[in-house]
Amino acid sequence: MVTRQITNVPTRQIAYSVDWYGKICAQKSSMTIDQIRQTYAGDPTREWDRLQSTPLTRTEYLITSHCLERYLPPAGLVLDAGSGPRRYAIDLARRGCSVVMLDLVRELLQLGQLKLAEAGIDGHALSQVEGNIVALPCGDRAFDAVISLGAPLSHLTDAQARFRAIAEMARVVKPGGCVLVTGLARVACYRAFVYWLNRERLEQVGTPQARASGILHGWVTSYAFAPGELAELVHGTGLQVVDQIGCEGIAAYLPMDHLAQVEADPALWPIWRDILLETCNEPTIIGISNHLLVVARKTE
């Protein structure tokens, strides 16, 4: 486990002390962090398979990859914060970036090492760090871009820790560089409970208080963002929000078998793919996508 003293975090962005951070880790986040580690370590392959396993997760991969293509430089050093087993990192390395992968879970990084070898990627382009997005073990302005995809942020159930994580991403990106950060969307989660006919989870958000908390109790406790909230949080760290995207776009919670049929149809798929990419940042649909992606730029 890589640890780091918090010494060079600009105070303009962070109003919290090291004492505060220690208390967060010890009291509020530690149980969740342990839960996360245990959950992901138990089945690392599932996380590697995730982005290819259903038409919906393949849509998440398609739209997210499209945004990486659009907002990341063709080369340069990228931090993948909450990388999992490296699917995006391998794609970025293929297009000429060097990537530092950071994740809490050693087993995921180890699986990524195997996938890297299978993909025949030059290992020099990729390095890995076992660590926590709340305290990045990296220098100020070290990266040309930072990505945090598949909603690692939603694993932080404490509001200050979420702010802290984004502020850390803002700290380590160079001026002019982009931060692409994702979170779970609250409204989409409610739709998911009905889509999967999950009575228990719908009942858990049965009061206005439960819904306002944003906390969801599933395979691991997570936080789902209200519409506009993630963009506000990113803006609050001093970054300039330049785009918002729904990673599943208008595919969110369409019947899986219909999506699969369109995907497999050589005449229909290119049309549907273009529509997905053209509409993924449409304000009326970003909130119903499971994963929200906020693209922000560091201006100074």
Ligand X SMILES: C[S@@+](CC[C@H](N)C(=O)[O-])C[C@H]1O[C@@H](n2cnc3c(N)ncnc32)[C@H](O)[C@@H]1O
Interaction site with ligand X (CB under 6 A)? 36, 40, 47, 50-51, 82-84, 87, 103-105, 108, 132-134, 149-152, 155
CB 84, min distance to ligand X, A: 3
- Residue number with CB closer to ligand X (62 or 134): 134
Give the residue with the Cβ less far from ligand X, 84 or 287.
84
Nearer to ligand X by Cβ, of 133 and 172: the residue is: 133
Phi, psi of 141 (to 5 degrees): 50, 35
Q: Closest approach of Cβ 145 to ligand X, in Å? A: 14
Integer Cα distance of 199 and 203 in angstroms: 6
Kindly state the tokens that stand for 133.
């997005």
**Contact of 158 with 24, CB cutoff 8 Å:** yes
Alpha carbons 194 and 188: distance in angstroms, whole number: 10
What are the Cα distances from residue 244, in Å, to 19, 187, 230, 286?
34, 16, 9, 7
Whether the Cβ atoms of residue 162 and residue 195 lie closer than 8 Å to each other: no
Judged by beta carbon, residue 35 or residue 262, the one nearer ligand X is: 35
Q: Which is nearer to ligand X, 223 or 266 (CB)?
A: 223
DSSP state of 226: P
**Phi, psi (rounded to 5 degrees) for 297:** -120, 145
CB of 300 to ligand X, least distance (A): 26
Here the tokens at position 3 are 């640890």
Bridge partners, 259 (sequence order): none
DSSP string for residues in 262-274: HHH-TTHHHHHHH
CB of 251 to ligand X, least distance (A): 17
What minimum distance in Å lies between the beta carbon of 40 and ligand X? 5
Nearest distance from C-beta of residue 169 to ligand X, angstroms? 11
Nearer to ligand X, 53 or 261 (CB): 53
